[in-house]
């Protein structure tokens, strides 16, 4: 099975956060890294997910799977749910976790669902 990547926006901020304080996205990344990546998942910090008004944001992706972007995450309360969601995503063939099986924060705070990337040969075979 292809490795799942949990992308964590390092530059995310949230409204009301002191601009001189560490960026909440970087704090979330550190909390996830300290908790440890689930089997089959790697945690990767990225400079921007373009979800600035919805920070903190993460994205789950893997080759041949749908990609999901989640926002409005809190590094103090959502780490366990994010890792649970990443585990569930990694366990699917297509990236689609049944709605009722998703952590609540993933049900309510999905910002985008992006179709899987297919090579030209795969796309032509599908047509």
pLDDT tens per residue, range 29-56: 999 999 999 999 999 999 999 998 888 9
Look up the pTM and report it.
0.88
Angle at CA of residue 8, ends 1 and 12, nearest 5°:
160
- Looking at residue 53, its pLDDT comes to 86
Measured distance CA(55)–CA(86) in Å, rounded: 18
pLDDT tens per residue, range 71-86: 999 999 999 999 999 9
Measured distance CA(84)–CA(38) in Å, rounded: 8
């Amino acid at each position: 099975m292809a490795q799942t990547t949990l992308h964590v926006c390092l530059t995310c901020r949230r409204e009301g956060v002191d601009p001189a304080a560490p960026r909440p996205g970087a704090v979330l990344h550190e909390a996830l890294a300290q908790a440890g990546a689930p089997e089959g998942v790697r945690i990767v910090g990225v400079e921007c997910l373009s979800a600035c008004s919805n920070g903190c944001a993460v994205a789950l992706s893997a080759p041949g799977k749908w990609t999901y972007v989640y926002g409005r995450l809190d590094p103090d309360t959502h780490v366990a749910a994010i890792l649970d969601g990443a585990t569930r995503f990694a366990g699917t063939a297509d990236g689609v976790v049944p709605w009722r099986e998703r952590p609540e924060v993933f049900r309510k705070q999905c910002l985008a669902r992006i179709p899987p990337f297919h090579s030209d040969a795969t796309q032509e075979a599908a047509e």
